[in-house]
């Protein structure tokens, strides 16, 4: 069953998680319902892509209202396709929420066990990873393009949580809307690195389609690396949505030839919904 369920034109939620965990909000926006113009039509949530600050802030305010999580409580990252992940606390709230300049530099993932902080990251083809360890009230998010994926950002989160006393078997993961295997064509350079990363895997998540050209399933690479890190298969949800194929819902960096907007992944615990 598809884990990401459209709530209205503006965002998807990971519905089974929301039902299981009172107070949790987790999902990803679409490209619909905002004010941006031109190639950013119309719910662009990325500051760094050439859109106007005014339109991006207005779009962010709209999402904050829809998901009922104040913009002042969001955190955002620069996202450099590296694997640095940052534990955030309430003191960090607001950083990167209303401008790119104040976002966390050189950061591609966040985690926290505190309430009232929304972990946000921007996407247009790269793989959004959502993490939760309900026993420890821990949540996390990571941005996994091919570089972050093969350099092990998923494993890095599992290891960071290990040092917080969390066993991989306690961790649940959702792999979100991103570019599908059919749409993601890469060259020998990328495939050689993927091959080295997955040398122990028999069924490789890529196919040769023409001389030096391969179609790569980046969602599946992340799933395989999570299994290797000790996360049980039944703990991992994976979407069928593709940012490129599903053109009515998503921005795609590849499909739109680099001039496009960004969707926003989000995960947070709401303060106002304390369990009785
Ligand atoms: Zn596709």
Give the Cα separation of 99 and 106 in Å (integer): 15
What is the distance in A from the centroid of ligand 1 to the CA of 8?
Answer: 22
What are the sequence ranges of the domains in the chain?
A: 4-178+230-270
Ligand 1 centroid distance, CA of 263 (Å): 16
Contact predicate 221/205, CB 8 Å:
yes
Helix (H, G, I), strand (E, B) or coil at 14: strand
Q: Tokens in use for 169? A: 């078997």
**44 alpha carbon – ligand 1 mean position (Å):** 20
Buried/exposed 67-86: b ≥16 CB within 10 Å, e otherwise:
bebebebbbbbbbeebbbbb
What does the mean pLDDT of the chain come to? Answer: 96
- Rounded to the nearest angstrom, the distance between the alpha carbon of 183 and the centre of ligand 1 is 4
Q: Please give the distance, rounded to the nearest whole angstrom, from the Cα atom of residue 3 to the centre of ligand 1.
A: 17
- Residue 198 CA, distance from chain mean position: 22
For 228-258, write each residue's pLDDT tens digit: 999 999 999 999 999 999 999 999 999 999 9
pLDDT band at 271 (very low <50, low <70, confident <90, very high): confident
Q: Residue 141: pLDDT above 70?
A: yes
- The pocket of ion ligand 1, defined by CB under 5 A, consists of 180, 183, 242, 244-245
Sheet holding 11-14, edge to edge: 4-6, 11-14, 24-29, 263-269, 118-123, 74-75
71-75 mean pLDDT: 97
Cα atoms in the Cβ-side hemisphere of radius 13 Å centred on 112: 23
- How big is the chain, counted in residues? 276
Q: CA-CA distance, 211 to 208, in Å (whole number)?
A: 8
Q: Is the pLDDT score of 274 beyond 80? A: no
Q: How many CA atoms lie within 13 A of 43 on its CB side?
A: 24
Residue linked to tokens 């209303």: 98
CA distance 225 to 127: 13
Q: Give distance in angstroms: CA of 87 to centre of ligand 1.
A: 33
- CA–centroid distance, 167 to ligand 1, in Å, is 34
Query: Considering the domain 4-178+230-270 in this protein, what is its CATH number?
Result: 3.60.140.10
Alpha-carbon span 130 to 264, nearest angstrom: 12
Separation of CA 144 and ligand 1 centre (Å): 17
Q: Report the separation in Å between the CA atom of 171 and the middle of ligand 1, taken as the mean of its atom positions.
A: 28
Q: What is the DSSP letter of 22?
A: T
Q: How far is the CA of 26 from the centre of ligand 1 (A)?
A: 23
Q: Where are the beta strands (DSSP E) in 42-171?
A: 74-75, 85-87, 109-112, 118-123, 127-133, 138-144
CA distance 258 to 220: 24
For the stretch 90-121, pLDDT in tens is 999 999 999 999 999 999 999 999 999 999 99
Q: What spacing in Å lies between the alpha carbon of 247 and ligand 1's midpoint?
A: 9
The SS3 assignment for 192 reads helix
Q: Average pLDDT of 151-168? A: 98
Residues 271, 137: Cα–Cα separation, whole Å: 13
Q: How far, in Å, is the centroid of ligand 1 from the Cα of 220?
A: 14
Using the predicted structure, report yes or no on whether residue 275 has a pLDDT greater than 60.
no
Q: How far is ligand 1, taken at its centre, from the CA of residue 74, in Å?
A: 30
């Amino acid at each position: 069953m598809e884990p990401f369920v459209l709530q209205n034109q503006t965002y998807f939620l990971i519905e089974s998680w929301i039902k299981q965990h009172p107070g949790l909000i987790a999902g990803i926006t679409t490209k619909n319902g905002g004010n941006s113009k031109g190639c950013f039509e119309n719910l662009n949530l990325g500051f760094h892509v050439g859109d106007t600050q005014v339109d991006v802030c207005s779009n962010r305010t709209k999402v904050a209202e829809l998901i009922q999580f104040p913009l002042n409580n969001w955190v955002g990252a620069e996202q450099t396709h590296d694997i640095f992940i940052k534990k955030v606390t309430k003191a960090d709230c607001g950083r990167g929420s209303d401008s790119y300049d104040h976002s966390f530099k050189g950061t591609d993932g966040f985690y926290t066990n505190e309430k009232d902080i929304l972990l946000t990251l921007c996407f247009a083809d790269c793989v959004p990873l959502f993490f939760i360890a309900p026993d420890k009230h821990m949540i996390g998010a990571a941005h996994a393009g091919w570089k972050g994926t093969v350099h092990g950002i998923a494993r890095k989160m599992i290891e960071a949580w290990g040092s917080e006393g969390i066993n991989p078997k306690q961790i649940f993961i959702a792999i979100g809307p991103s570019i599908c295997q059919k749409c993601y064509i890469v060259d020998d350079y990328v495939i050689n690195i993927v091959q080295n990363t997955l040398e122990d895997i028999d069924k490789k998540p890529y196919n040769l389609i023409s001389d030096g050209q391969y179609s790569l399933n980046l969602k599946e690479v992340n799933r395989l690396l999570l299994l290797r890190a000790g996360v049980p298969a039944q703990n991992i949800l994976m979407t069928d949505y593709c940012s490129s194929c599903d053109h009515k819902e998503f921005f795609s960096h590849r499909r739109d030839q680099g001039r496009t907007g960004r969707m926003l992944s989000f995960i947070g615990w709401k303060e106002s919904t304390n369990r009785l």
